Structure 1
C-alpha cells in the first residue's frame, strides 16, 4: 500500500472513531440528564471549570479555522460532496467530519495525480 493510500485509510479510520467516541460521551450525558435536548446543561458542563473551558475554546477556534479551510479547499480542488463533511461536523461530530474531509481530499488528490499522468 502506497503512503497516500495508507494515509487515506488512516483518515477514514479516524473519522469512524471520531463518530463513535464523542457519541459515547453524548449518550452518557443524555442518560445522566434524562433530557436528550439539554443544550444549556451541556454548555454549562463544557464550561464547568478551567480545563473544560480550555478544551471548549480550543475546539471552537480550531474547528472554526478548519471549517473555513474545508470550504475553501473543497472548492479549490473541485471536490464532489465536500459540503457533506460540514454536515457531519455539525450532526455527528467535528472529530468525524474533519478526518472525513481529509480522506476525501486525499482521494481527490490521487484522482488529479492520475489524470495528470495520463
Structure 2
C-alpha cells in the first residue's frame, strides 16, 4: 500500500480533487440538460454573447491544453496520454486536464526519485 501512495504529492492530490470536482460539476449540469431535453450544443452558441464568449474561451483553452497533454505526455513517456484528450469529449476537459496534471506530477515525482 505504501508503494501506491509514494508518488501522491500534495500537488498531485490537489489536482486529483480539482479533477473530481470538474467531473461532478460538469456532469451535474449535463444530467440536468438531458433530463430537461435541452439542446446542449445550441445553447452553447445561441444563448447570448456572454455564453458564446465563455464557450470560445473554454474551447481555446481545451485545444491548448490538449496540445500540452500530447506533447508533455510524449516528453515524459506517459503511455496513452492521448486518452485524456479522447476522454475529455466523453466526460469533460474540466475532469481530464487536472487528472492529467495529477498523473504528470506523479510521473515527475517518480522520475525525481529515480535520479536521486
Query: TM-score w.r.t. structure 1 length?
Result: 0.86
Equivalent residue, structure 1, for 2:4:
none
Which 5+ residue runs of structure 2 have no aligned equivalent? Answer: 1-7
Which 5+ residue runs of structure 1 have no aligned equivalent? Answer: none
Secondary structure of the residue aligned to 1:60 is helix
Equivalent residue, structure 2, for 1:59:
58
CA RMSD of aligned residues (A): 1.4
1:42 to 30, 40, 48: 40
Q: Quote how far apart the aligned CAs of 1:88 are.
A: 2.5
Tell me the number of residue pairs that the alignment of Structure 1 and Structure 2 aligns: 108
Query: TM-score w.r.t. structure 2 length?
Result: 0.87
Secondary structure of the residue aligned to 1:110 is helix
Question: Which residues in structure 2 correspond to 1:21-36 (within 5 Å)?
Answer: 21-33=25-37
Using the alignment, how far apart are the partners of 2:60 and 2:84 within structure 1? Answer: 18
Q: Quote how far apart the aligned CAs of 1:84 are.
A: 2.8
